[in-house]
Structure 1
Amino acid sequence: MNIKHVMFVGTMIVTMSFAGTAWGKSAISPIPMPKWSIVDLDNSSESEDDELLGALNQSSEEELADKLYQGQSLRSIAQNSGGNYDRVIAIQIKQLQEQLDERLANGSISSEQHALQSMEVAELIIESANRAYI
């Protein structure tokens, strides 16, 4: 796998973890349709962020971002802080699959694209979570 693909997937996963579905809709879209907002009126992503931070045993998004910026992988963050790596993977797979399902329901991807991308979700998430980006 080339480095551009790895960097793209890693950035996409981290961004989706922080921004919920606001960024996730355009992260995979061939024609970006960003939904930008200073205030996220949809509080459902807040509980997912808290769930991810809890699984990583991190107190804040800033603490997590600092560790990622220092070149730690999600696996090493979870292991070093007493987090639950398997739960981190499950949360991120669920989030990315929900976004794919939403894009299929909205008609922005075909059922064939949905099926192909769904088959790759777990592999991409696991590979990205195990890689440190420095």
Structure 2
Amino acid sequence: MNPKQIIIVGTIAIVITLSGGIWTDKANAKPKNTEAPTQRINIEVQDALLHLLGVSSNEEMQEALYNGKSLADITKDNNGDIRRVIALQLTEMTEQLDQRLTQGSITLDQYRAQRSELAEIVTRSVYGLPSG
């Protein structure tokens, strides 16, 4: 893979992580009032991300990413605030790290190491930059 493809795949991985609740919700086909709290939060995060990017659907975002745009490009094209996109993703990824620590799937040292790198990783991903 060339570096641009790696960046695109990394960005898509973050987007997929954030949109996981949507797929779960559709697959279960539950009525709205029986959604698990985590699914509701993931859907809210996905909706917030789409709003911040200035796109109307997950498909529109995926198409732009597939065509080589970064999340920052999409946001800029739609006069959005890139800082808010980064903040949203950073918050979501931090919550996931917190959850992994609480569940015992990572150690405190692993948590601290990953948490210390998170802001840079998310920022580089949003801008479509190769990892440092």
Which band: TM-score by shorter chain?
0.7 to 0.9
**Between the two proteins, what is the percent identity of the paired residues?**
33
Paired with 2:40 and 2:103, the residues of 1 have a C-alpha distance of 21
- The runs of 5 or more residues in structure 1 that have no matched partner are 23-34
Paired with 2:21 and 2:91, the residues of 1 have a C-alpha distance of 12
- The runs of 5 or more residues in structure 2 that have no matched partner are 30-34
Which AA in structure 2 matches 1:72?
A: K
Q: 2:82 is matched with which residue: 82, 85, 92?
A: 85
CA deviations over 1:56-106 (Å, ceiling 9, x no partner): 111111111110111101111000111111100000000100000000000
Counterpart contact for 1:89–1:126, Cα < 8 Å: yes
1:39 equivalent to 2:28? Answer yes
Question: For residues 64 and 5 of structure 1, do their structure 2 counterparts lie closer, same or farther at Cα, with a shift above 3 Å needed?
Answer: closer
Paired with 1:109 and 1:98, the residues of 2 have a C-alpha distance of 14
* Aligned residue pairs, count: 119
- Match of residue 18 from structure 1: 19
Q: In angstroms, what is the RMSD of aligned CA positions?
A: 2.7
- Match of residue 119 from structure 2: 122
Normalising by structure 2, report the TM-score: 0.78
Which AA in structure 2 matches 1:66?
A: E
TM superposition shift of 1:17: 2.3
Paired with 1:61 and 1:83, the residues of 2 have a C-alpha distance of 16
State the structure with more CA Rg: 2
- Match of residue 68 from structure 1: 65
Normalising by structure 1, report the TM-score: 0.77
Question: For residues 86 and 79 of structure 1, do their structure 2 counterparts lie closer, same or farther at Cα, with a shift above 3 Å needed?
Answer: same
Which of the two has greater helix per residue? 2
Paired with 1:92 and 1:132, the residues of 2 have a C-alpha distance of 16
TM superposition shift of 1:7: 5.9
Which AA in structure 1 matches 2:19?
A: F
